[in-house]
Amino acid sequence: MLGMGPGFWLPGLTNIIKQAGWGNDWVALVFFIFPIASMISPLCSGAIADQKIAAQKLVAWVSVISAITMVAAFYCLEKGLHPWYFVSFFFLTTVIGAPLWNLVITIAMTHLPRPEAQFAQVRLWCTVGWILGGWIASLVLRADASPMAGYAGAVCRIILAFSLLMAPHTPPRGVSSHWRSLLGFDAFRLLKDKNLRVLLIGSAALTMPITSFYMHTPEHLRALGDMRSTFTMSFGQWSEVAAMAVTGWLMLRYRLKTLLQVGLAFSVLRFVFFSLGSWQDSLGWMWTGIAIHGICYTLFFITGQIYMDQRVEPSMRGQMQGLLGLVTNGVGALLGTVGLKILHRYTVESRGDWTSYWLVLTAITVICTVWFVRVFDDKKTPAVE
């Protein structure tokens, strides 16, 4: 249910907004909400889960409340109310629901005996759910550009809340009551570790171009004649499932840096394929780029999450995942959303030039890759407290 919820509405969000008659500025504003929310709540929620409230109970409450606000948001959109009504409720939904992924990851990492070998196999079921959500939205509900996708996502969050009541008890492990700890600011101490710092900065930098995957790829697909973009985008998740199925095996046999480099290489290749798709007006190249998205995501971000969890003490796990959410879904996505809006305006909106749009993102990803390869060193060091 965690993955199925956004699988219903996120791949088609741009087309849902445009179908309502709103322009590109509203699309950018809505996507601007995601990083703002990720800068507000994950650190604090991670600290609360570490120190005050059992993580599974916190996830259940977050799911229920965010489901209610999500229904309100898409109802306002469906009824044709002023866009600010949708934006306001969507902002509440996103702020409240932003910690969900990080909290569920914390629960999984806490209870898996060997997270380095097992986490990816567990995490892949979120991706399977995402795929099923996209397929149902596109092929059954025909909601590629309909508010119905948002309602379906809200139902998934309600089911998630009830399912979390049966999850293993994950009590808080910290004991501090200092306001800095309760707000999650202690997590910034983790930046003293060079490898964690480099991985966090690299993750934030790579998130900037990746933000385009859901912000503008469905729009480009539709421009090329693919009217089932939600279904098409799900193939990126199929490759994610395949990559996650072998991630544990790969992590036991190859250096972490090797896996991260392969993930970065595929990230560059994805944008190259998108550029070719635009240059040749070919959906085939676009589909190929989408199909390798899951490999990029898994080999860099999922292996990075596992590495970070192993590098910190158990009492800091929630805050570590919150810090990761802050720098990637927060800072990285915020800068990416602003930059992509400007780039989209000067390439696609003004000249219909998707080729230049994707080539710029290719160049940015190449720069991120070269920097990371030169700086990151994954030698074993003691866990950070």
Q: Specify the CATH number for the domain of residue 255.
A: 1.20.1250.20
Going residue by residue through the chain, which has 385 residues, state the pLDDT in tens, using 9 for 90 and above: 788 998 899 888 988 999 999 988 898 899 888 888 777 765 555 445 444 677 788 888 889 999 999 999 999 999 999 999 999 999 999 888 877 877 777 777 777 777 766 777 777 888 889 889 988 998 899 888 899 999 999 999 999 988 877 877 777 655 444 444 444 456 677 778 888 889 989 999 999 998 898 889 989 998 999 988 888 988 888 888 888 888 888 888 888 889 999 999 999 999 999 999 999 999 999 999 999 998 998 999 888 888 887 777 776 766 776 777 778 878 888 899 899 999 999 999 999 999 999 999 999 999 999 999 999 886 654 444 4
Residue 182 lies in a domain: no
Dist CA 217 CA 329 (whole Å) = 18
Residue 154 lies in a domain: yes
| Distance linking the first and last C-alpha atoms of the chain | 33
CA distances from 75 to 5, 30, 86, 89, 139 (A): 17, 16, 8, 10, 22
The one-letter amino acid at 234: S
Q: Is the dihedral of CA 156, 127, 209, 194 positive or negative?
A: positive
Residue 382 lies in a domain: no
Is 53 exposed, middle or buried, given 0-12, 13-18 or 19+ CB atoms closer than 10 A? middle
With a CB cutoff of 8 Å and minimum separation 6, the contacts of 352 are: none
3-state secondary structure of 312: strand
Residue 71 lies in a domain: yes
Half-sphere exposure of 158 (CA within 13 A, CB side): 11
Domain count, the chain: 1
Residue 228 lies in a domain: yes
Dist CA 313 CA 223 (whole Å) = 49
pLDDT at 183: 43
Residue 178 lies in a domain: no
Residue 11 lies in a domain: yes
Residue 179 lies in a domain: no
Q: Containing domain of residue 139, as a range?
A: 4-169+187-375
Dist CA 103 CA 56 (whole Å) = 8
